[in-house]
Structures are given as structure tokens and as C-alpha cells.
Amino acid sequence: MKLLDLQGHASPEDSKTHIRIPFELDEGCGKLNLRLQYAPKTLENREKAIQLLKNSYDLYILPENREYAMENADRHLPLKNLMTLSLDDTRGYRGACHRQDELQELFVSEREASPGLTAGELVPGSWSVTLSLHCIVTDTCDYHLQIWTTEEDAI
């Protein structure tokens, strides 16, 4: 049964923010499935990437080390968007999947769960997914979150 099909957009101003997305889980769920996809993954504009690196070096690197950092900036390329997912059930935290993958297909059931999530009883009630927008380096980043259930507790 489909529980959620949400599409959205993020911009660099959304970096270091979280989006909490509540949903309701009914009784009789054997397996909760989650699919997060976002794009683009990589900032293809080298000039813009170098400027973003310079801005971060100005903030986080001591002045005497900035020239060296800029001379070696290519080792930090390509810059990539990073969006991750965590899950909470009616009782609290069920785990987080802090992965680099732009497509994440996850599940949780009473007996098993994707790495980062906790298997256990799928308690009916209010659940939520939190999207963590760690870093958005492209002008816009589209995301798509789908959540659905199946009755079977099978992979």
C-alpha cells in the first residue's frame, strides 16, 4: 500500500537543514519500504565548484594554509550534493542511512532492516522520515521520496 509519494526541490540555501515528513502506518504492515532519489548528484561547473571551495577555505582554513589548499583544490572535486534519510516510529528513533548514494532503496521489518535502520515491531501510528540536506551545491536539486508497505516480511 502506498503511504507517501513526495517530490520536492532544494537549493544551496537549504544546505544544513532538515525536512521532517510525517506519515501514518496502519496495522498489518509486514515490511516498510522507502525509496529516496535525488538529482543531480554532481556539480559539473568547475569554475563554480572552485569558487565554493575558496569560500569554504576562507571560512574553515587558517590564512597561512589557504594558498596550499587552493593549489590542491582539485583533490576535492567533483563537489556533490548530499541528502540522507533517517526514520522515526511512534516510539522514537529507528535509524539513519547516511549514504552518498543518490538512489537509496531501504526497508525495515520485524526481522530485518537495511543497514542503518533497526528491525523490530512495525508499530501502527505516526512515523516520520527526516531528510537531512547536508550539502546542496547545484542551483537546484530535485528529490523524490516514496514510502509503501507490503504484508510480507520478506526481502
Number of residues assigned to the chain: 155
The predicted structure's pLDDT at residue 28: 87
Other C-beta atoms within 10 Å of 36: how many?
A: 23
pLDDT in tens, 21-71: 999 999 989 999 999 999 999 999 999 999 999 999 999 999 999 999 999
Contact present, 139 and 44 (Cβ < 8 Å): no
The predicted structure's pLDDT at residue 84: 96
pLDDT in tens, 91-147: 999 999 989 999 999 999 999 999 999 999 999 999 999 999 999 999 999 999 999
The overall pTM is greater than 0.75: yes
Element (H, E) at 46: helix 46-60
Side-chain half-sphere CA neighbours of 100 within 13 A: 3
Estimate to the nearest angstrom the gap between the alpha carbon of 28 and the chain centroid.
Answer: 28
DSSP codes, 86-131:
EEEETTEEEEEE----SEEEEEEESS-B-TTB------SEEEEEEE
